[in-house]
């Protein structure tokens, strides 16, 4: 990741959290099956408590097998954290669910609060940070109203990946992996519509 280079990506997420649409880079809108296995509607069913959020998301994480695109070394706690990040960043959630998810984050073993985090747009906020075996990932929210601002992730240990053809690539500790900022989120009638 190059911290000096910015890429703007416009995505559309279905309200049920099961589809993602985006421009394929050639002006064509592509829709794909996508999701965390649990939706905002699932989480809105009573009781809406931090413990229930972790239980429901944990059950979803347990039911979804790790694929070749996942980090096979990720712990259950890390996968729950990542799912909460996806839910907060990609799905419209009712206030009670958002509040319960925020209260659930510090209950996840390995999560710490970082007081001054900066999203890719330069906005300051508070981050919930999870440090795994080889990466640290942050969910950055506004300190004033807890709106989702973005994410940041970096490697915390050297890691070597096998590439096709027998090649390898090493990612050094301290290498940024992701840095994002959600600038707007609006509900529209269909994928491709502008708010």
**What tokens were used for 67?**
């694929």
How sure is the predictor about 73, in pLDDT bands with cuts at 50, 70 and 90?
confident
Residue 7 has pLDDT above 90, yes or no: no
* Residue linked to tokens 């416009």: 10
Please state the pTM of the whole predicted model: 0.89
Q: How far apart are CA 107 and CA 123, in angstroms?
A: 26
pLDDT at 194: 83
């Amino acid at each position: 990741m190059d911290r000096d280079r910015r890429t703007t990506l416009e995505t559309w997420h279905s309200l049920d959290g099961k589809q993602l649409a985006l421009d394929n880079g050639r002006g064509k809108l592509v829709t794909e099956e996508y999701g965390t296995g649990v939706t905002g509607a699932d989480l809105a069913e009573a009781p809406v408590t931090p413990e229930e959020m972790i239980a429901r998301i944990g059950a979803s994480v347990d039911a979804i097998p790790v694929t070749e695109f996942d980090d096979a070394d990720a712990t259950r706690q890390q996968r729950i954290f990542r799912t909460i990040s996806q839910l907060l960043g990609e799905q419209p959630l009712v206030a009670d669910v958002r509040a319960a998810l925020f209260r659930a984050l510090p209950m996840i073993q390995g999560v710490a609060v970082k007081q001054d985090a900066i999203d890719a747009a330069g906005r300051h906020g508070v981050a919930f940070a999870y440090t795994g075996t080889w990466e640290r990932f942050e969910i950055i929210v506004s300190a004033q109203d807890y709106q989702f601002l973005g994410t940041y992730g970096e490697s915390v240990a050297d890691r070597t990946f096998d590439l096709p053809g027998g090649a390898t690539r090493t990612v050094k500790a301290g290498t940024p992996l992701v840095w994002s900022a959600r600038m707007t989120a609006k509900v529209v009638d269909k994928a491709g519509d502008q708010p």
